[in-house]
Amino acid sequence: MINRRNMMQAVAAGFGAAVSSSMIPSSAQAATKPTGKPKRIIFFMQNQGFDPATCIPEGLDETVSLDGIKLPEPIEALEAHKDKINIISGLHGMHTSPSHSAYFGALGGYRGGIGIAPSASTIDHEISKVLPQTALPHLCVGMDAMENMTSRPTLATLSAKGAGQPLFMHSNPNHLYQMLFGGIATGDVKRRYEAKSKVFDQIELLAGQAGMSLPSRSSDRYGSYVDGFKDINGLRERLAGVSDTLKKFAPEYGEKFTNPEFETDWHDSILDVSIAALKSGLTNVLTIGSGRGEIFGSWKGLGVTEAGHNLGHVKQPENPIWIKIRQYNCRMLVKLIDELESMPEDGGTMMDNTLIVYTSNNADKQHTNGANWPFILLGNCSGHFKTGQFTQLDSRRPINDFYATLLHAVGAPCDRFNMDKNIAGKHDSKVGPIEELLA
């Protein structure tokens, strides 16, 4: 009985956090909601670090156009889209303690670490509250070794909606497909979806009634579980209202979902569901955690036998293992670009109004002080960002300033993001967005 109760509490707290649809910006400096063209932002976080030598063309040490310059082998898949990218070097995250992983601090811009709860909302969630609201404002997915995705299908290490409020990543593509497309599915997927829906309806009712008799302290905690079930059921109702649209974009549910040979089959399936969520308008903010923000991860489907922590001790430049992983990432980025470019929107395509942010939750390597935290931007988010260039910054501006720049681009300008005056005095050189990045 205790195990069953604990399981249902975890489902409510974790699953509910993952589908939370909070719509009120918590940032005191947030401005009015943006107007004009729609926007969406995708964050792709690779674990174990992002060595700048694997993405910066040889010999570049100052800002320059990429026209006529060949991209390094690990990111050569982006060559056809070179006019859409901006490779950024010279940001830092020394205040986040990123060695092994900054965890929530990578997207939060604050001190992180294993077992350390988020101290504030992360940039991806803040953006999800500013952009036009959707059925699922913020979708988080994670890719890992098969055994980890199976045993822990949801995990929270990267995104948060506030202090002590982590957001869970979905790592089992079958669960994710059922959550988003179960209502319009057939066969076993539909039957499981309907069975769970009935259970969650009943649990929400019973849980709400039971909580009324609890002492106030216990009632508050119990209320978070009730809210979790309300989030689950609320999402189901919102999805039912757009079922005709979902039918147009639901990915093919096949062997890669139900009988994967390698973990990369599940990685690909998770990406397919995420793309369908973007194209169908279910979400405007997607966070992808390859390695799920930890030091684990596996890519046996690429012929990579090294896995987990050991990968972080393999030097990345000119290393065939990391070339394969980075090329795999870039093929995923290209697929995102191509799929969004195939969708008309506002006189152009969805990609015209999208920004993809590719980086690591480990700065440049697994054991790092965060002195250099490279990023690759793809797209310009409705014309707000410069593209087709390499940008060299002076290493005096933190990742927080880049996140403030993102908020500026989506219509919620702020002086600084998650950085008080004391921390800023030690680690920041300027207030406001990074002008070198803005068009």
Q: Where are the alpha helices (DSSP H) in 182-258?
A: 187-211, 216-240, 243-249, 255-258
Q: Mean pLDDT over residues 42-68, rounded?
A: 97
Q: Work out how many domains the chain is built from and give that number.
A: 1
pTM: 0.88
Burial of 53 (0-12, 13-18, 19+ CB in 10 A): middle
* Nearby residues of 235 by Cβ (< 8 Å), 6 or more positions away: 19, 21, 135, 136, 179
Please give the Cα distance from 206 to 215 (Å, whole number): 17
Residue 30 belongs to some domain of the structure: yes
Note the pLDDT of residue 189: 80
Q: The domain spanning residue 289 has which CATH number?
A: 3.40.720
Type of residue numbered 48: Q
Please give the Cα distance from 436 to 438 (Å, whole number): 6
Whole domain around residue 263: which residue ranges? 24-195+258-437
Residue 207 belongs to some domain of the structure: no
Long-range CB contacts for residues 338-342, cutoff 8 Å, separation at least 24: 339/275, 339/278, 339/279, 340/278, 340/279
Residue 11 belongs to some domain of the structure: no
Q: What secondary structure letter does DSSP report for 309?
A: G
Residues 94-139 pLDDT 10s: 999 999 999 999 999 999 999 999 999 999 999 999 999 999 999 9
Residues 410-436 pLDDT 10s: 999 999 999 988 899 899 989 999 999
Question: Which of the four pLDDT bands, split at 50, 70 and 90, describes residue 37?
Answer: confident
Q: Mean pLDDT over residues 229-245, rounded?
A: 79
- Alpha-carbon distances, residue 390 vs 28, 61, 204, 219, 331 (angstroms): 33, 9, 52, 53, 20
Q: What is the longest distance spanned by two Cα atoms in the chain?
A: 70
First to last CA, the chain: 59
